[in-house]
Amino acid sequence: MSLEQLIEQCKKNDAKAQSQIYKLFASKLFSLSLKYSRNHAEAEDNLQDAFVTIFKKIEQFKSKGSLEGWMKRIAINTALQRYRTVGVFNIVNEGQIEDVSIEIDDDNIGIDYLLQIIQELPDRYRLVFNLYALDDYSHNEIAEMLEISTGTSKSNLARARQILKDKIEQYRASPNSQTL
Amino acid sequence: MSDKKHIDRLFQEKLKNFEATPDDALWDNIHDRLHKDKRKRRVIPIWWKVAGVAALLALLFTVGMKLTSNDFNSNATNPIVDTEKQSPIKSNETMIPDSGNSDDIQNQMERSSSDVTENSSDSEDGLSDNSDKTSNNKSKNNRLNRKLTTTPESNTNRIANSDKSETKGRDSQDKLNKESFLNSSSNENNTGNSKSAVVKVSENNENNSNQNNLDVKKEKSEIDKLIKDSKNDTNSKVTNASEKTESIITEEKKEETTKETKEDKSIEDAIAEANTEDEKEKEKKLNRWNISPNVAPVYFNSLGKGSSLDEQFVDNEKSSEVTMSYGVGGSYAINERLKVRAGINKVDMGYNTNNVLAFRSVDPTSQARLQLSNVSINDDAENMTYLSTESLNRNITPEIINSKSDGSLNQRFGFIELPLEVEYAFINKKLGVNVIGGFSTLIVDNNEIFSVVNGTETRIGEANNINNMSYSANFGLGINYNISEKVKVNVEPTFKYQINTFNNSSGDFQPYFIGIYTGLSYKF
């Protein structure tokens, strides 16, 4: 069955087609959720909520764009919604910092560790870093999505980078202590 | 700025192909959330009957409570009506200020008019007699007149009458001469009516009164003069005439007043009619609800030959105990003939399977073989064996068994019964006949099996094939007798065919029970 046919079936709330779509995209959306979440459990919750929204709103999906892109946006929005309702966006320090250039050597750092330090970032730093560095949103878009100013977005990104860099350097200095 | 991108790029490149597989259980959760609505719908048909009964009961009670509170209100007005009966004129005086209540006014009118007609009929008799009695008549008539005038005094209403009666009084004097030779008795009759009419009018016209008080007084004096004239006349004929004139005057009044009333009716009647309609509606509503406690002897049996206990008892002789059912029901009358009823009853049943041999088996293996299929045996009765004598060939069974006397198995079970029925009245008089149809939900609340040998009962266990919830289709014939407007005696022989009560019964076991439901029903 082609993807279009699957989508058509999903629009009729067909459980088999939904299952197929899920199988096709679950791991991609799960990795995305992992990056936007604090931990594994939260990522699972997010994935679940995202798929429920996807199948409930699949009628609104126009075949013009890619299904994957559309689903990703829903998954991201679901994650943002989670922190928006919790109200954590305002917790972090609003002080502006200069965007310093951060250089780092690309040697063998494990994916797990990278994911871990992303998840350890304060919520808004994590979201801004994800949106800007990994998912190609502009500061303007991010400002709108998170209901913050572009300045705050830029500053949050710089802080996120700084934290990540520090952690990676720490890791290099004493890799054994960071394998937790 | 290539440096700046470095860390971003590091993450981008490293995480580009990163994929993690979520837990398999996740899809189940998602699926459940997407399709839970369907599952809910599937559950509904199983519960709708129970929910329906519960909802109807709740509805009955809530609406019933509201109506009973209305009932109290209407009762509160009744005592006033009673006092009227004792002293109609007083009540006129007291009631009239309360002009809003059209019903009361009507009652008063009727009563006062009946008073007047009594008096007038007295005077009629007197008139038809000789002149000796006419003096008595006069006094009676005077009394009448006084009443007429006194009631106006008490009522501000009469003024409207008096306005008209003034002019009429004069006209009527002229007419009086002409008409004085009319048949006195008929006139008298008319006077009775006319007086009552006057009273009515006076009551109707309450509102107009104040302005016209002066006129009324003048009028009164005129009438009084006429009356005095007639009194002073010692000639009996003249008195007759004067009486006639009086009557004519009153007749005139009546004519006028009736005209008046017609005019007034346009408004007042409209109000009164509206009120009476409301009243009627209320009355209907008040009688829609019924509550009826009942008690019934119940007889349980099966339509076909079968057994709910075990296959071997299919052919055994069975007998039913007469047991009791009691409970309370409520009904709502949709119209005069059709009622919806619901209620709650406790019903117990007893059913004997006869010709059963009970003996203690020594050999545990044979005991296992002879267990009853649908009975959970108590621990202390575990090594008992129950055999149907029908299935035994006396010639080949051991003497020990043959010498045993027959016993029986007595099954007792009880239900909480929630009936939901419709009742249609064929005859709806003092003695009523109706048919009843509907269904009941039966919830098991008692389940026991006893063995009865030589008159001693031993509880051996309980049936394991009675469904916790089952149904019955009900059909009954009701006869009721109205003791009073509110209270009825009912007798309702009802046949209830049980559905889905037993699973795994043997033979053609079709249980039913018959109850003669007897009770009182109280309307409110």
Other beta carbons within 10 Å of B278:
12
| CA angle, B206 then B169 then B218, to 5° | 60
**Interface with B, mutate which of A31, A98, A136, A154 (most B CBs under 10 A):** A31
pLDDT in tens, B10-20: 888 888 878 88
Q: Which has more pLDDT, B260 or B311? A: B311
Q: Which of A18, A102, A132 is facing B34, going by the closest CB pair?
A: A18
Helix (H) or strand (E) holding B301: strand B289-302
pLDDT given at position B496? 92
pLDDT given at position B155? 42
pLDDT in tens, A132-145: 999 989 999 998 88
Other beta carbons within 10 Å of B143:
14
Q: What percent of chain B shows pLDDT beyond 70?
A: 47
pLDDT at B75 over 90: no
Sign of CA dihedral B164, B170, B176, B179: negative
Q: List the one residue out of B523, B420, B429, B424 whose CA is nearest residue B480.
A: B429
Confidence of residue A74 (pLDDT cuts 50, 70, 90): very high
Sign of CA dihedral B375, B380, B382, B384: negative
pLDDT at B41 over 90: no
- Least confident range from B52-56, B251-255, B453-457: namely B251-255
Q: Is A36 helix (H, G, I), strand (E, B) or coil?
A: helix
Question: Complex ipTM, two decimals?
Answer: 0.84
Other beta carbons within 10 Å of B454:
8
Q: How many residues does chain A have?
A: 180
- Least confident range from B153-162, B327-336, B470-479: namely B153-162
Confidence of residue B454 (pLDDT cuts 50, 70, 90): confident
- Kindly determine whether residue B20 and residue A102, on different chains, have CB atoms separated by under 8 Å: no
B486-509: average pLDDT: 87
Q: Which has more pLDDT, B199 or B488? A: B488
B359-370: average pLDDT: 56
| Partner B contacted by A162 (CB < 8 A) | no
pLDDT in tens, B387-422: 777 666 655 666 666 556 678 888 889 999 999 999
pLDDT given at position B226? 63
* CA A3/CA A177 separation, integer angstroms: 47
B151-171: average pLDDT: 44
| Partner B contacted by A138 (CB < 8 A) | no
| Partner B contacted by A135 (CB < 8 A) | no
If DSSP states are collapsed to H, E and C, what string results for B338-391?
Answer: EEEEEEEEEEEEEEEEEEEEEEECCCHHHHHHCCCCCEEECHHHCCEEEEEHHH
Q: How many residues does chain B have?
A: 524
Q: List the one residue out of B146, B351, B27 whose CA is nearest residue A26.
A: B27
Residue B373 corresponds to which tokens in the numbers above?
A: 């299929």
pLDDT at B458 over 70: yes
Searching chain B, which residue's CA lies closest to the CA of residue A10?
B34
pLDDT given at position B33? 87
Q: A-chain residues within 8 Å CB-CB of B34?
A: 13, 15, 18, 52, 55-56
Q: Which has more pLDDT, B233 or B484? A: B484
pLDDT given at position B367? 47
pLDDT in tens, B191-246: 444 444 444 444 444 444 444 455 555 555 666 666 565 555 444 444 454 455 55
Residue B290 corresponds to which tokens in the numbers above?
A: 């019924």
Distance of CA B152 to the CA centre of its chain: 44
Q: List the one residue out of B224, B377, B364, B361 whose CA is nearest residue B310.
A: B377
pLDDT at B147 over 50: no
Burial status of residue B431 (CB atoms within 10 A of its CB: 0-12, 13-18, 19 or more)? exposed
pLDDT given at position B327? 93
pLDDT given at position B186? 43
pLDDT given at position B162? 43
Searching chain B, which residue's CA lies closest to the CA of residue A15?
B31
pLDDT given at position B429? 83
pLDDT at B165 over 50: no
Confidence of residue B266 (pLDDT cuts 50, 70, 90): low
B427-431: average pLDDT: 85
